[in-house]
Amino acid sequence: MSAMGFAELLQKGSQAVQQRQPDAAIPLLEQAVQLQPDSFDAHFWLGAAYALAQRWEDAARHLEHARSLNPQVPAVWFNLGVVYWQMQRLGEAIDCFEATLQLDPNHQGAKQALATIIKPKVDTELTPL
């Protein structure tokens, strides 16, 4: 079997993520990142694959790298927000969801996430009379 090229690794890896198969996706996308370390898509999809596998630190690292390569993509901010939320890094999660909405004001996921995070935060910060 011949070695897969970057495009094929990326295509198969991203498909596996979309089919919620992180164990299949991660090795393909790790190879893609090795072949093209400055590929937004490779880091984005590898971050998503790690998030599916609940490997939050790894997910954050690759999504942060993807964001640094292309900060104009709402999905990278949103996914990073979800990962930070899972890591209990709520301030950073809120920043990411707000950035998502600046890029895509109709992003329902970011709206719901902010409503969910901020409401309990407000409830716990209010003191009864």
Quick one: CATH architecture of 1-70? Answer: Alpha Horseshoe (1.25)
Residue 104 confidence (pLDDT) above 50: yes
Note the pTM of the prediction, 2 decimals: 0.89
Q: Are 80 and 96 in contact (CB under 8 A)?
A: yes
Q: pLDDT tens for residues 57-70?
A: 999 999 999 999 99
Q: How far is CA 125 from CA 55, 81, 117, 121, in A?
A: 30, 22, 13, 6
Over residues 73-85, the mean pLDDT reads 98
Q: Are 6 and 14 in contact (CB under 8 A)?
A: no
Neighbours of 19 (CB within 10 A): 10
Ranges of beta strands (E only) in the chain are: none
Q: Give Cβ neighbours of residue 88 (< 8 Å, ≥ 6 apart).
A: none
Least Cα distance to 75 among 55, 49, 104 occurs for: 104
Q: Does the domain made of 71-129 have the CATH classification 1.10.10.10?
A: no
Residues of the chain with CATH 1.25.40.10: 1-70, 71-129
**What is the per-residue pLDDT for 1?**
43
